[in-house]
Amino acid sequence: MAEKEESGEAGKDKTELQIIKELVDELYNFRDCYFETHSVEEAGRKDDNVKRKMGQALKKLEEKEDSLKHKSEFLLQKGRCLNVSPDFSAAAEECLSRAVKLDPTLVEAWNILGDQYWKKGDLIASKNCFTGALQQEKNKVSLRNLSMVLRQLPAANSDEHGKRVLESVDLAREAVQLDVSDGTSWCILGNAFLSLFFTCGQNPQFSQQALNAYAKSAADRIASSMPDLHFNRANLFHYEEMFGCALEGYSRAAELDPNWGEPPEKEKQLLEYLEKVTELIHNKGKVKTRRLRTMLSNLNTSALGPCSFPQFRSPSGRVGSLEPRSLSSLTHGHNAGVAALGKVVFSLATQGRMAFTFGMVDSEETCIVVMVYNTADTWGVLISDSVVIPEPNVKRHSITHKDKSYDFKSIRVDSPLLLIVNGKKQNVQSQIPISVSNQYHQKPKEAD
């Protein structure tokens, strides 16, 4: 008889716990699919609406707390309910810690406890939770969260950081393989490849893999509403000089979370940069005609320096002297075997710049903008300096964003070491690899 009563009580608990789980599931669905039931104009109220919904759910959970507070599943659902907020919750930490003590096999409780430690700033404890969950069961949430935490842990040196980034890519890739339809996992894989790109020599293959993963994520109905996705992808678009896509990404991130200040600031900075660049190209850096002609009068092939030597090795690996060409004769893309030669007429210092930017004018008085990446803060060129760009990579930009249009050509230079300035190669100290930070908007920032 006692056994029957115990069995019946267990069945009752299961029913109540199932109702509680469905209640918390509904809360997460409300948060994650918010824009399926609300317009983007209501984005600014999302956090408040989610908190209000969380409060309603908590009230219903607390009605059952006296009879269920010693059940690990109840503690999991209460901790999960509290975890819907982007902020650390001591109550959530307590619930989840008790849940895993009662049942160490509760993978979801380990994962959410790891989230709480992350929000608290205890990355070691967070990592231990995700590792512990994976010891119980291989699952996509632990894999992708561990991928993120590994990139945030402080490293003793660049080699250690590089190894962690490589491991984080493997973990994120494994998470995707467990569920190729999960857009959040694709987003984390994109971030991992972005970190790998900037950590391991800026291999274009890694950049493309990041963009491919972000595209998969953006096609997912839940992940496409995450402002972090659009912001991080926009940063990569910006670096790749896909300025129109970058502006759209910053704008979309700002729409999805109007309370987050960084996306609109980045959008504003990039618009100001494009405005200034097009203006300076148009008026040749505002250099007066007489001064410009004086500057150009002493521009000759002697400025080619080592580029004129038969043994000169070009960035492409080609050996041999380069033929100087006018800017107007350069073709779109890589110009093999030739060099662009001109005088600096302006340089541009901008907030949050990706590249050191300057304009140069050739002997035909054609002006073009040059964007040099991975420069040390102390490196630069001065007005009237002679600059030679071996085998220039020419791009055409045609951008329209929010009723503003920009149209200009540029030359991309991936390192100052590729330039010849006043007849001389640049020293190694002129180069410092650029870094771009991923953002996890509801968790600490991930720096590369």
CATH of the domain at 399: 2.40.50.550
**Domain membership flag for residue 440:** no
Backbone dihedral region for residue 408 (phi beyond 0: left; psi -120 to 50: alpha; all else: beta): beta
286 shares a domain with 186:
no
Mean pLDDT to the nearest integer, 60-76: 91
**Domain membership flag for residue 438:** no
| Mean per-residue pLDDT over the chain, rounded | 91
Judge whether 193 and 213 are in contact, CB under 8 Å.
Answer: yes
**Domain membership flag for residue 372:** yes
Lowest mean pLDDT across 105-119, 193-207, 348-362, 396-410: 348-362
168 shares a domain with 93:
yes
pLDDT, one tens digit per residue, over 161-207 is 999 999 999 999 999 999 999 999 999 999 999 999 988 888 899 99
- The answer on pLDDT for 157 being more than 50 is yes
Cα dihedral sign, 366-367-372-378: positive
297 shares a domain with 195:
no
Judge whether 435 and 447 are in contact, CB under 8 Å.
Answer: yes
Separation of alpha carbons 319 and 311, rounded Å: 6
- The answer on pLDDT for 241 being more than 70 is yes
288 shares a domain with 251:
no
Tokens coding 411: 């030359």
Mean pLDDT to the nearest integer, 16-35: 94
pTM of the model: 0.90
Judge whether 396 and 332 are in contact, CB under 8 Å.
Answer: yes
- The answer on pLDDT for 239 being more than 50 is yes
What one-character-per-residue DSSP string does 194-210 give?
Answer: HHHHHHTT--HHHHHHH
- The answer on pLDDT for 263 being more than 70 is yes
Euclidean distance between the first and the last CA atom of the chain, given in angstroms as a whole number: 63
243 shares a domain with 110:
yes
Q: Where are the alpha helices (DSSP H) in 260-388?
A: 262-282, 289-297
395 shares a domain with 326:
yes
**Domain membership flag for residue 436:** no
CATH of the domain at 195: 1.25.40.10
pLDDT on residue 216:
98
**Domain membership flag for residue 2:** no
220 shares a domain with 286:
no
161 shares a domain with 72:
yes
pLDDT on residue 302:
86
Task: Identify the domain boundary among 255, 285, 308.
Answer: 255
pLDDT, one tens digit per residue, over 316-331 is 889 999 999 999 999 9
Q: Give the domain extent around 396.
A: 274-429
Domain total of the chain: 2
pLDDT on residue 67:
85
Q: What is the CA radius of gyration of the chain?
A: 28
370 shares a domain with 338:
yes
